Amino acid sequence: MKRIIKYMLILPLLATLTNGCKKFEDINTNPNETTQVNSAMLATGMILNVTRGDISSTKGFMQPFLLGKYLTWGEGQEGFQYNRLGRTDFDRITLLRNIPSMENYATSDALKKSYQGLGHFIRAWQFFMATMQVGDIPYAEAVKGETNVLQPKYDTQKAVFMGILNELDQANQLFATGANFEGDPIYAW
């Protein structure tokens, strides 16, 4: 009887071990997710990140630039009015890590120029919003963690604005010589 009980305990354990690890990669792979990325996917993600967070909110597109015209709103204090702690952070700069990958996955030189132009525009927008909310921010050494710049120096707001204008000039030149690219959910080009 003891022998039968042992076999009854060991048999399901053996069945689980032999069948449980079969086809692990097949059952662990989500068929609805991609395993490869391209420039258009990265461009879509970055454009949606910028437009959802800054432009499409009810009054987020006005903050903090229209606080002088705040007379008609009656909702209460805003974090930007009183410089509250926790009102902002540097999370918007982490999006910029995707720009080199987006540029590298381009399939032609004309598309690469367009994606580089988009990268410069998104950099300009993200740094503009960050410097308007915080003031002096890391700009010249920002997003260079892969090259061991782990504590970037802060640039003055004037230097950041000069860099932003330079980024926009570069974006304009690259868009002028580039091609229509995929991945733009706004204009669907």
Q: What is the pLDDT of residues 30-74, one digit of tens each?
A: 778 777 888 889 998 898 888 876 554 445 545 555 555 555 555
Q: What does the pLDDT average to over 105-119?
A: 93
Please give the pLDDT value at position 56. Answer: 47
Burial 79-90 (b: 16+ CB within 10 A, else e): ebeeeeeeebee
187 compared with 56, residue with greater pLDDT = 187
Q: Provide the whole-model pTM.
A: 0.71
List beta partners, residue 137.
155
Share of the chain above pLDDT 70, in %: 72
**Average pLDDT score, the chain:** 80
Let me know: does 46 contact 102? Beta carbons within 8 Å: yes
The answer to whether residue 14 scores a pLDDT higher than 90 is no
